[in-house]
Amino acid sequence: MPTSAVRFGDLEIAYTTEFRLGLDSRGKRTKLSCSFYHPVPPEGFHVLGSLGFPGLTDPNGKVAALCVRDVAGVEGDALALPKDYEWVWNDAGTGGTDGSCWRPVPPPGYRALGNVFVYGHDKPPVDLVRCVKDSLTVPAPAGDLIWNDSGGGGKYDFSAWKVCAPEQFVDETPGATKAVITPESFVALAGYEKPSHAPELNALCLPLSTERPGLSPEPPRLTGRTRPAQSTPAVTDHSVRVPLTAVRDDAKSLAWRIENSPYYTIERRVWWSLLLFNDNRTDTDQTVEDAVTVGVEKSSSETFSRSTGVSVSAEVGVKIFGTGATVSATVTGELGYESSTSVTEFRSRTVTRRLVTPKNTAGALWVASYGLRTLRADGTVVGSQLRFDGDAFHHAQYPSSEASSGAGIPSLARLVSVYSGKVLDVAGPSAANGAVVHQWEWNNGDNQKWRIEPAGDGYYRLVSVYSGKVLDVAGPSTANGAVVHQWEWNNGDNQKWRIEPAGDGRHRLIARHSGKALDIAGPSAANGAVVNQWEWNNGDNQRFRLEAVTG
């Protein structure tokens, strides 16, 4: 009997492939055939209801049935015995062997998650199933018809319908992301219409285990004029653990999966891929460019979904629905994205990037690359990895701009837009977190003066003399158009800027986290024009003169 188990919140989950027959339609006069079985749980575990199958099906060794118990070593109250059973139906008058269906009656504060089918017409023992604390459940819809007794000539009408997980469940409650998990039981009624409400139309709603090591690959550096490696080593920065039935894994038998991998891990990996390189040995600046597809391409997403059962798109995010509608969750946030659905980073599009290499330097531009993959408990990979490039870029040059910073970057400066002649200005002036940074004509205000301080690895932070807060990309977002405001220093990469020569004594400022340039929106020459980030397009609204000022 398999006993491999995994914890999800207040419950431990295991699976069984052993069943005991409750009723089938052999010898009955009904138009449809059916089989109802009751799972036999591993020692110490409990089941939540019987399972029904259209047709004469023997699930032994072929179907994984969910079993649960309170977390080992913790005195919990997640599960409770039913108070009683409510009679739903028996097969009197239909012929064949006797069987009956019963609905568990939960104690106050608990819910039933299915019905019970037993051989004979006697009430089942109270400890045959468990009810679940209502805070660990959510309402669930009725799915496909399993069976009805139409044409059987019985004394009572009856139909049974599968209890399913909702097709797309998005958890908006605080804390860890939760998944809807069904025990694949059924809802039953004395009639033939699909029910929209019933006491047993419920499913588990349990938190998923996540890991966020907070690691990110170090931005690559250019240490010479030789073309660098095509990619940096991949780093896993987010992962989420899901139940066995959430993932498709055709390469392994069900018995192997139950014993060796009762859970699977979906993880995101990050690395940098070289997009452009130029070794400029001339006395003039050079520009090279290339197009790259960012986001998730439909064909790649479909291949990944077919092999793993995990769907990825801009519309739904990262969605799991499980085999047979048994598990439903949206795990986009657990994999490092700000939005659960409508994920901009997944939208497939082609963008063009330019690399400006100053005279007598070498330059390189990398794109942030991502991989989503599904792992078994032993660390082996299911199917293929979904690989895609993100809309974040990193630039480096040799010799680095840091090496010559003393000559071109003052410690106290105003930042003058080459396009408008106006300066970066904290609106208000305000000292609050989130105060907008826009452009304004120079008035010698402290809200227009910035201390430029090294932040390590060739990056700088820009500190407002007025507020002591730093230039910060809100979110932090990697999107074009993300607003730049001021915020207290927290050592975030969205607060670190690479200051690069952009010709004729001018500079561009590149956000470390996104690879995008500081930009005057529009472009506009008006007072109050918003400052945001945008992909580098060689515009004068992205070039600034760093002019020394006095305090």
Q: What is the domain partition of the chain in residue ranges? A: 6-207, 210-398, 405-548
Q: What local confidence, expressed as pLDDT, does residue 551 receive?
A: 65
pLDDT at 59: 96
HEC letters along 461-486: EEEECCCCCEEEECCCCCCCCCEEEE
Alpha carbon 295 to chain centroid, angstroms: 15
Quick one: tokens of 260? 């060796």
Contact 260, 376 (CB under 8 A): yes
Amino acid at 331: V
Give the pair of three-digit tokens for residue 485: 């405001």
Spatial CA neighbour of 292 closest among 306, 277, 274, 278: 274
DSSP state of 259: H
Confidence of residue 229 (pLDDT cuts 50, 70, 90): very high
Q: How large is the average pLDDT for residues 421-442?
A: 95
Q: What's the pLDDT score for residue 130? A: 98
Reduce the DSSP state of residue 435 to 3 states and report it: coil
pLDDT given at position 520: 97
Per-residue confidence (pLDDT) for residue 362, from 0 to 100: 93
Q: State the pLDDT at residue 406.
A: 43
Higher pLDDT pick, 374 / 393 = 374
pLDDT of 149 strictly over 70: yes
Predicted pLDDT of residue 537: 87
Specify the pLDDT at position 332.
Answer: 86
Most confident of 18-27, 77-86, 279-288, 507-516: 77-86
Mean pLDDT of 373-396: 91
**Mean pLDDT of all residues belonging to the chain:** 90
pTM: 0.74
Whether 335 shows a pLDDT value over 90: the answer reads no
Could you please state the CATH topology (level 3) that the domain comprising 405-548 is classified under: Trefoil (Acidic Fibroblast Growth Factor, subunit A) (2.80.10)
pLDDT at 214: 61
What is the amino acid identity at position 209?
S
The C-alpha atoms of residue 168 and residue 160 are separated, in whole angstroms, by 23
pLDDT confidence bin for 401, thresholds 50/70/90: low
Handedness of CA 372, 373, 378, 380 (dihedral sign): negative
523 upstream amide cis, omega within 30 of 0? yes
The DSSP secondary structure of 127-192, one letter per residue, reads GGS-EEEGGGEEE--EEEEEEE-TTS--SS--EEEEE---SS----SSSS-EEEE----EEEESSS
The per-residue b/e assignment along 530-542, b for 16 or more CB within 10 angstroms, e otherwise, is bbbbbbbeeeebb
Q: How confident is the model at residue 204 (pLDDT cuts 50, 70, 90)?
A: very high
Phi, psi dihedrals of residue 324, rounded to the nearest 5°: 70, 30
**Looking at the DSSP assignment, which residues form a beta bridge with residue 548?**
413
Cα separation of 407 and 410, whole Å? 8
CB-based contact 350:237 (threshold 8 Å): no
Strand partners, 135: none
- Please count the other Cβ atoms lying within 10 Å of the Cβ belonging to residue 510: 23
